[in-house]
Amino acid sequence: MFRQSTFKTVLIALTLFLGVYAILPTLLGLERIRQATAFLPAFLVPKGAIKLGLDLQGGVHVMLEVDRAGLARDLVRQLQEDVRRVLRAERVAPTGGIVAQARGVSLRIADAAGRARILPKLQELAVPVTSAVLGNTGQRSLEVVDMGDGLIQLAITDAELNERIRRAVDQSIEIFRKRIDPEGVKEPAIQRQGLDRIVVQVPGARDSKEITDVLQPGKLEFRMVAEPGANPAEIETLQNVDEGGGTVAVERRVLVHGEDLTSAEPGFDQRSGEPIVNFRFNVRGAQAFAKATTENVGKPFAIILDNKVISAPRIITPITQGQGQISGRFTVERANQLAVLLRSGALPASFTLVEERTVGAGLGADSIAAASLASGVSAVVIAAFTVATYGVLGLIALAALLANLILIFAAMALIGSTLTLPGIAGIVLTMAMAVDSNVLIYERIREEQAAGRSAISALDTGFTRALATILDANITTFLAGAILYLVGTGPVRGFAVTLCIGIITTIFTAFTLTRIIVAAWYRWFRPKVVPI
Amino acid sequence: MKLLRIVPDNTKFGFMRFRRVSFPFSALASIVAVVAFLALGMNVGIDFKGGTVVELQSKAERADIARIRATAGTLDLGDVEVQEFGGPRDVLLRIGLQPGGDRAQAEVVARLRQVFAADYEFRKVEVVGPRVSQELVQNGTIGVLLAILVILVYLWFRYEWQFAVGAVIATMHDLVLTVGFYALTQLQFDQTSIAAILTIIGYSLNDTVVVYDRVRELLRKYKKLPMSDLLDLAMNSTLTRTVITAVTTILALIVLAIFGGEVIRGFCLAMLFGVLIGTYSSIFIAAPILIYLGVKVGDGVGVAQPAKA
């Protein structure tokens, strides 16, 4: 019998109602809907609106990658220190020092007794690598190998390096967030991608430089400028970006680190009116700075950001209050930026930009206009063609199509997905292919009727037989879409998402809604022959 | 109301006879596609070869392309391709991968901004580093192969093996011709093209599955009909659907190609081609090949029952 249970009808009506409800925030603005539904229990308040992709609203997308070699160098430097400490405690001196390599250190200890004493101590440096994701990996951070001939090699394992990279990326994501959006208004999307990459998307940004400028490491150090005749092993020469340029020789020893800052605010120098950054140290920093400035009155010290000297003022009086200012011929903008950089702390690693996609707001607006026009025109064309071919049943198909569209947007709003230009193409394509499911049903009904069945019997068998085919045919497209989602990035993923959601809603509406409307239409008119 | 009939009722077209034409035709077309691919190569976009693309819009009435070319030439960026894009105010600059790894690519845009920012609006900037582009190539290739494999397994599970093999041959046919289409038209081949190819595969299989479903049904119903007659019957009874669906999809794609803007035009053109050959291959390749793969009338008895009324 071609009958539908009331329960099923109510369920579908409810689904559609919820669908409309879920897209209200997208149509009318999330905030307005949140306010209007504030009296409802929390789970009934719509969660989100469909966001426009950067290709439609304009913005900057950059992908950054951890400088793996740089991070390895940092680890090697730290390892050198650790080994030196062990050797000092055991009073063993290596021949030729502790040699740094790309992924470890080596040292030669000719004395066999000393070597036997030192080896177990060095082994202790190798700790189990525990990962926040994987738990205990069962691997150690170091491989300590006695190469024979007095040579000991310590190599940093892949497990350790990867875990360090993972942690550096996690910390950097937080720091990036603070730096890019200090006021919390830009809604940037900052996400890890793979092990060592971060994708940063900032809607509305116009130039990737706005982003990349604040993604520098931000490592601040205060050191003394080297005095003539200082031990060459204890000084290094850094680029000077302050007035005068050139290079400056500074001591390797760091007086105070950037971590000891408690605040950094942009301001103006009271005398010159030049933009500066005012800062304040914590207790440890204040004490160290007071001691250093007291001992070195009259001598210049260097303020070093990311291994570049940004200014090298002379100490006029001891600074004991734990506060000071950084000047360096800044613009107002740069002083602001620097303050944010210093407040957010230094990045644990440096990053390289490996991909950029920036869309201007103008192009985005043009794309939206083009996409709206194309969707509108194709909707009209599809509708005209469907009604011309199937008459009243065509109208029913269009109703199903409309419901389908509502459900697609509702699903996108619920999973918080992003609408991109290819995504819109995906929806238009889905509309065309959703018509296909109705065509399959209607053609089957036509055939069954031609084979001599009564109207009601033709309708019933038509639906049942076509549905198996619809399912089979759509699963293959769904599989292709799912794979596209897995391998695609950015806008292409948007296309895959809409394609896959569209297939699910198409099957749903074909199985339920079309059938219910056709059944209702039949009960109402009781046609002897299906007009098809 | 008089309804539109694209395909007359009771059409009895001898599709299977056409295999003597369609097989050699497809074989020839595939060879042309492969030769075009090898001889012309594809117009690979920066997604897959790395580099920089910048879309500029002049703040004045029209863009001075000669001057842009001359200015860009002084920047020591290697070969800079400058072309009009859309309207007279819009210009597209393509700059190849710079030597010096990822860092060197990021520099390019900064230098372009220095010289062009005063007179032009930067509508779009895309920079893809050497390693990212390699990964995108890898992902794209894996995606297409994986799609074919997964679908093969699905079809094998759902039908007899002959159907799965037939569907894959038809899909490969569509894939090869689409690649040939990209080579001959020199349409830009980028990530969106992978999306187009996978969608074409999906659409073509969708069509093939509809036809195969009918073949399977008829195999169970008619035990004595010669195979080629049975296939003809299956083609003819699904023909209206095949045509109507293809027409709807093609209409939608034409509209998108005309009004949807420069960004998705290439995608729509490839899809248009794909829908045409996908429809063709379902009828003229996927179905007749079943004869050669040894599907026999009466085989349907052993075939798994589909969901039935």
Local confidence band at B13 (pLDDT 50, 70, 90 cut-offs) = confident
Question: Is B249 within 8 Å of A429 when comparing Cβ atoms?
Answer: yes
532 residues of chain A, pLDDT tens digit each: 466 678 888 888 888 998 888 888 888 877 777 778 778 777 777 777 888 888 888 999 999 999 998 899 889 988 988 898 888 888 888 888 888 888 999 999 888 888 888 888 888 888 888 776 666 777 888 899 888 888 999 999 998 999 999 999 998 998 888 888 877 777 888 999 888 999 999 988 888 887 887 777 888 888 889 888 877 777 888 888 877 778 888 888 888 888 888 888 888 888 888 888 888 888 888 898 898 889 888 888 888 888 888 888 888 888 888 888 887 778 888 888 888 888 888 888 888 889 999 998 888 888 899 989 998 999 899 999 999 989 999 999 999 999 999 999 999 988 888 888 888 888 888 888 788 899 999 999 988 998 888 988 999 999 988 988 888 888 888 888 898 888 887 777 888 888 899 999 999 898 888 888 998 898 888 888 888 7
Closest by Cα among B289, B256, B284, B280 to B270: B256
Question: What pLDDT was estimated at residue A177?
Answer: 87
With 0-12 CB in 10 A as exposed, 13-18 as middle and 19+ as buried, what is A73?
middle
Does residue B205 share a domain with residue B159? Answer: yes
Q: How many CB pairs under 8 A join A and B?
A: 248
Does residue B40 share a domain with residue B66? Answer: no
Which amino acid type is present at position A448?
E
Does residue A79 share a domain with residue A49? Answer: no
- CA distance linking residue B121 with residue B127, whole number of Å: 17
Residue B22, domain member (yes or no): yes
Residues 362-401 of A with CB under 8 A from B: 362-363, 366-367, 370-371, 373-374, 377-378, 381-382, 385-386, 388-391
Does residue A146 share a domain with residue A284? Answer: no
Overall domain count for chain B: 2
Residue A342, domain member (yes or no): no
Residues 220-259 of B with CB under 8 A from A: 237-238, 240-241, 244-245, 247-249, 251-253, 255-256, 258-259
- Domain CATH code at residue A409: 1.20.1640.10
Does residue B176 share a domain with residue B286? Answer: yes
- CA distance linking residue A525 with residue A519, whole number of Å: 10
Does residue A494 share a domain with residue A444? Answer: yes
Residue B31, domain member (yes or no): yes
Smallest Cα distance from A326 to chain B, Å: 27
Query: Sheet containing A95-100: which strands, arranged edge to edge?
Result: A95-100, A104-108, A151-156, A142-148
Residue A532, domain member (yes or no): no
B141-147: long-range contacts (C-beta < 8 A, 24 or more apart)? B142/A487, B143/A483, B143/A484, B143/A486, B143/A487, B143/A488, B143/B194, B143/B198, B144/B175, B144/B194, B144/B197, B144/B198, B144/B201, B146/A483, B146/A486, B146/A487, B147/A479, B147/A480, B147/A483, B147/A484, B147/B198, B147/B201
Does residue B179 share a domain with residue B32? Answer: yes
Asked if A320 is an interface residue toward chain B (Cβ–Cβ < 8 A), one would say: no
Question: Is B241 within 8 Å of A374 when comparing Cβ atoms?
Answer: no
- Domain CATH code at residue A292: 3.30.1360.200
Does residue A71 share a domain with residue A180? Answer: yes
- 3-class state of residue B270 by DSSP: helix
Question: What pLDDT was estimated at residue A253?
Answer: 84
DSSP category for residue B78: S
Question: Is A209 within 8 Å of B245 when comparing Cβ atoms?
Answer: no
Residue B83, domain member (yes or no): yes
Smallest Cα distance from A220 to chain B, Å: 23
Beta-bridge mates of residue A130: A136
Does residue A383 share a domain with residue A295? Answer: no
Question: Is B122 within 8 Å of A475 when comparing Cβ atoms?
Answer: no
Residue A162, domain member (yes or no): yes
Residues 44-83 of B with CB under 8 A from A: 55, 57
Taking CA–CA distances from B139, the nearest residue in chain A reads A487
Taking CA–CA distances from B266, the nearest residue in chain A reads A422
Query: Which residues of chain B are within 8 Å of residue A466 when distances are taken between CB atoms?
Result: none
Residue A173, domain member (yes or no): yes
Query: Which residues of chain B are within 8 Å of residue A489 when distances are taken between CB atoms?
Result: 136, 139, 191
Asked if B198 is an interface residue toward chain A (Cβ–Cβ < 8 A), one would say: yes
Does residue A299 share a domain with residue A373? Answer: no
Task: Using the 3D structure, point to which of A273, A306, A328 is the last residue of a domain.
Answer: A328
Does residue A510 share a domain with residue A378? Answer: yes
Does residue A501 share a domain with residue A396? Answer: yes
Does residue B167 share a domain with residue B100? Answer: no
- Domain CATH code at residue B139: 1.20.1640.10
Asked if B102 is an interface residue toward chain A (Cβ–Cβ < 8 A), one would say: yes
Asked if B156 is an interface residue toward chain A (Cβ–Cβ < 8 A), one would say: no
Asked if A496 is an interface residue toward chain B (Cβ–Cβ < 8 A), one would say: yes
DSSP string, A260-301: GEEEEEEEE-TTT--EEEEEEE-HHHHHHHHHHHHHTTTSBE
Smallest Cα distance from A460 to chain B, Å: 9
Does residue A223 share a domain with residue A210? Answer: no
Does residue A421 share a domain with residue A371? Answer: yes
Kindly give the residue spans of alpha helices, DSSP state H, lying in B159-261: 161-185, 191-221, 227-259
Does residue B198 share a domain with residue B147? Answer: yes
Helix A490-511 to helix A513-525 angle (10° resolution) is 30
Question: What pLDDT was estimated at residue A323?
Answer: 84
Mean pLDDT score, B235-244: 90
Residue A445, domain member (yes or no): yes
Residue B159, domain member (yes or no): yes
Closest by Cα among A32, A24, A16 to A50: A24
- CA distance linking residue A520 with residue A513, whole number of Å: 11
Does residue B259 share a domain with residue B172? Answer: yes
Instruction: Inform me whether the pLDDT recorded for B308 exceeds 60.
Output: no
Residues 19-38 of B with CB under 8 A from A: none
Residue B1, domain member (yes or no): no
Does residue A202 share a domain with residue A240? Answer: no
Residue B191, domain member (yes or no): yes
Helix B191-221 to helix B130-158 angle (10° resolution) is 10
Smallest Cα distance from A381 to chain B, Å: 7
Residue B6, domain member (yes or no): no
Does residue A483 share a domain with residue A384? Answer: yes
Task: Using the 3D structure, point to which of B102, B128, B154 is the last residue of a domain.
Answer: B128
- CA distance linking residue A391 with residue A464, whole number of Å: 22
pLDDT digits (tens, 9 = 90+) for B105-128: 888 888 898 899 889 989 999 999
Task: Using the 3D structure, point to which of A194, A215, A236 is the last residue of a domain.
Answer: A215
Residue A67, domain member (yes or no): yes
Question: Is A479 within 8 Å of B238 when comparing Cβ atoms?
Answer: no
Domain that holds residue A243: 217-328
Does residue B114 share a domain with residue B222? Answer: no
With 0-12 CB in 10 A as exposed, 13-18 as middle and 19+ as buried, what is B198?
buried
Domain that holds residue B111: 51-128
**Facing residue for A488 by CB, picked from B191, B209, B264:** B191
Does residue B34 share a domain with residue B88? Answer: no
Does residue B101 share a domain with residue B240? Answer: no
Task: Using the 3D structure, point to which of B109, B128, B147 is the last residue of a domain.
Answer: B128
Does residue B88 share a domain with residue B27? Answer: no
- CA distance linking residue B10 with residue A284, whole number of Å: 93
Question: Is A480 within 8 Å of B198 when comparing Cβ atoms?
Answer: yes
- CA distance linking residue A161 with residue A72, whole number of Å: 7
Residue B109, domain member (yes or no): yes
Task: Using the 3D structure, point to which of B128, B144, B168 is the last residue of a domain.
Answer: B128
Q: CB of A83 within 8 A of CB of A154?
A: yes
DSSP H or E stretch at residue B101: helix B101-116
Does residue B219 share a domain with residue B120? Answer: no
Question: Is B259 within 8 Å of A464 when comparing Cβ atoms?
Answer: no
Question: Is B308 within 8 Å of A389 when comparing Cβ atoms?
Answer: no
Task: Using the 3D structure, point to which of A282, A309, A328 is the last residue of a domain.
Answer: A328
Query: Which residues of chain B are within 8 Å of residue A209 when distances are taken between CB atoms?
Result: 110, 113
Q: CB of B47 within 8 A of CB of B133?
A: yes
Overall domain count for chain A: 3
Asked if A229 is an interface residue toward chain B (Cβ–Cβ < 8 A), one would say: no
